[in-house]
Structure 1
C-alpha cells in the first residue's frame, strides 16, 4: 500500500517495511514469544489496503475544515484520504467533506466523523458536534444521506438523532454459507472483515469434530456464534453489552438459527451462575437452565486484559478450548496455566491490524488424557 501520510500519521506505525515486511516482523516476534508452547503456526494475511471497516476522524474546523489524525508527535495533521479504509469509505470521504464544507449547518462545530461500512456495501456515518443539533440540522443531514445513499446519525451532548437507521447489515461468507449480521453504531465489531472471515472459518473448521454443547463468553453480536452453532447441539453465549446482546438476538432471527441462546452476563457473573453461587433473573426470564447443557467446548474472545482469574479456572472445566486473543502478552500468561492440563492442537496468527504492532492469535486446546 502506498500512503502519502506514512511517517506523519500515527495510525500506521510500521510503514517502512511494506506489507509483507511488517507481517514478517510481527510473526517473528510472536513465534519467539510462544516458541516454548508450540512450533507450527498458521499465518493468515490481510489485504494490504482497503481492509478496515470502521474509522474515527477528528475534524480540523478552522478556515478550511478537514479530516485529521494524530501524528507521531501527538499533534493533529490534516488528511484528505485514508487507504486502509474499505473502498466505500475511502471513496466517500472526499465527496462527503466537500459537501459538508458548503453547508453552514452541517459544518458548524463539527468535531468528529465516524465511519462504519461492510462487505455488503452499506455505510453508516456519525457526525459528532460540540453544539446542539436540531430539526434544521436534520433537514440538511437528510439531503446528504439521500445524495450518497448512506445512513447518517448525528450526535451532540446527550442527543442522538437517527435519520433512517443506526445500523448496517454485514454479509460474511464462511466456507460455503453466507451469514448476515446487524452491526449497530457504537457497538463493537471486528475492524477487518476479510480477516474476520478467516478467523471464523479457522475456528469452524477446527471444531467440526467436537461434540455436545458450546459455551461462548464475550460473544459480542454473535460474530463467531452463528457459524460455530452448526458444529454443536446447543450453544449458550454470553456478553455484558446490552446493544451487542440486542444485535445478537436479532442476528439469530436474520439467519434462522434455532439452537443458540444469548444471555447478558459478564464472564464473572457466568462463573457465579455456573457454580450455583448466585441466581440470575436474566437466565430465568429466558428459560435458560444450565443443568440441561452438556458443554464440551468453551469459546473465549476476551478483551486485551485476557481472562480474569475466575474465568481462567472456569475454562478448565471443558474438554476443548477455542481462544481468540487480541493481546499476545495476556494470551501467553493464560496459556502458561492452561497447558498444565491441556495440549495445544492448533495455533494461528491473523493480521487483523496491518501496519501496526498488533497481531491477533487463535489457539485451540484439548484436555490431556
Structure 2
C-alpha cells in the first residue's frame, strides 16, 4: 500500500519496508511471545495489501468554509486532513469525495463532526453522519435526496436521535470452504472490518474443529460470525452473548442462512456458567434442555480484555478448546491457566489490521489425557 499520509496519519503506525516487512515483524514478536506454550510453526494469514477495510470512521473537520475528512496525527499533533484512504475498500474510497461534495452542496454540514462507513463486498453502503445538533424534517428531506443520488443508505445521529434513510444495515456475503454465507451487518455494532481475513479466520477455525464430534458451546458469539458456519459441522450449537442487539442479529442471520440447529442465549459468560452449575436459575434458560447436549468442544472469541479466571477454568472442562483473540497480551495470561490442563497443538496469526501493531491470534488446545 502506498499512502501519502504515512508518517502523519495515526491510522497506520508500522509501514517501513512495506507490507511483508511489517508482517514478518508481527510474526517474530508473537513467536517469541507464545514460545512458552507452542514450539511449532504459527500459520500466517495475510490481508490484501490495500483496500481491505469494509468499515471505517473519519472525523469531519470544518476548515473555514470547507469541510474535510480528518484523522488523528500519529504523534498526537492535532489532526491530519485527508482526501483519500487506501485502507478502505474501493466502494468507500470512491464514495468519500462524492459524499463530502453532496453534503456541502446541500448545506448539510452544520455541526457535522463525523462520518462512519460500512460497506459490503458488493458495494452496498450505509453511512452514519454524526452531529452536535438535533436533526429536523429539512435534514431528513435533504438526506433522502442525497442518499438517492449516491445510491447509499444514510443515517443521521445526534444526541438521543437516530434517523434512518433506507435501512441501517448492509448484507455481506462471506465465502467459506466453498460455501456462501450471508450476514446482515447493522451500523454502530461490531462487525469484522477485514472480510477477506475474516473468511480465512472462520475457515481455519472450522478446519481445526474437523476432528471434534458432538455439540459445540460458543461463548461471546456476537452476531453469529463463527456460529453459523460452525452449525454445518456440529450436531447442535449452544451460543451465548450478552448484547441484545447482537443476539437479535444472530437470530436473523441464522434464518438468512436456513440454519436451524443453533440455540442463542442472551447471557454473560459469568451468568451462563452459574446457570450450568446450578448456582442460579435464569428464565432465559428455561426452554433449553442442557442435558440434551453432548458438548466436547468450546469456542471463545472474547473482547480485548480476554476471559477472567473463572471463565478459563470453565472452558478447561472441555476436551477441545478453540480460542480467537484480538489481544495477544491477554491471550498469554489466559493460556497460563488453560495450559495447566490442555496442550496448544496449533496457532495462527490473522493480519486483520495491516500497518498497525494489532493482530488476531487463533489457538487450538486439546485436553491432556
Normalised by the length of structure 2, the TM-score is 0.98
For the residue of structure 1 that corresponds to 2:118, the secondary structure is strand
1:55 paired with 2:56, answer yes
Distance in structure 2 (CA, Å) of the matches to 1:73 and 1:365 = 40
Q: What are structure 2's unaligned runs of at least 5 residues?
A: none
Equivalent of 1:71 in 68, 73, 81: 73
For the residue of structure 1 that corresponds to 2:231, the secondary structure is helix
Aligned residues: CA RMSD: 0.9
Stretch deviating more after TM superposition (36-45 or 174-183): 36-45
Q: CA deviation at 1:114?
A: 0.3
**1:205 equivalent in structure 2:** 207
**2:260 equivalent in structure 1:** 258
The answer (yes or no) to whether the contact 1:342–1:368 under 8 Å persists in 2 is: yes
Distance in structure 2 (CA, Å) of the matches to 1:365 and 1:306 = 16
**2:92 equivalent in structure 1:** 89
Distance in structure 2 (CA, Å) of the matches to 1:46 and 1:12 = 14
Distance in structure 1 (CA, Å) of the matches to 2:271 and 2:296 = 20
**1:36 equivalent in structure 2:** 36
The answer (yes or no) to whether the contact 1:209–1:231 under 8 Å persists in 2 is: no
Equivalent of 1:114 in 113, 116, 122: 116
Stretch deviating more after TM superposition (108-117 or 32-41): 32-41
**2:104 equivalent in structure 1:** 101
Q: CA deviation at 1:73?
A: 3.0
Number of matched pairs: 366
Q: CA deviation at 1:17?
A: 2.3
Report Cα offsets for 1:196-239 as digits up to 9, x if no partner.
00000001111122111100001010000011111111101111
**1:188 equivalent in structure 2:** 190
Equivalent of 1:127 in 112, 125, 129: 129
**1:307 equivalent in structure 2:** 307
Q: What are structure 1's unaligned runs of at least 5 residues?
A: none
Q: CA deviation at 1:336?
A: 1.5
- The runs of at least 4 aligned residues of structure 1 exceeding 4 Å deviation read none
Output aligned runs, 1:216-365, within 5 Å. Answer: 216-284=218-286, 287-365=287-365
Equivalent of 2:216 in 197, 214, 217: 214
Distance in structure 1 (CA, Å) of the matches to 2:169 and 2:265 = 21
Normalised by the length of structure 1, the TM-score is 0.98
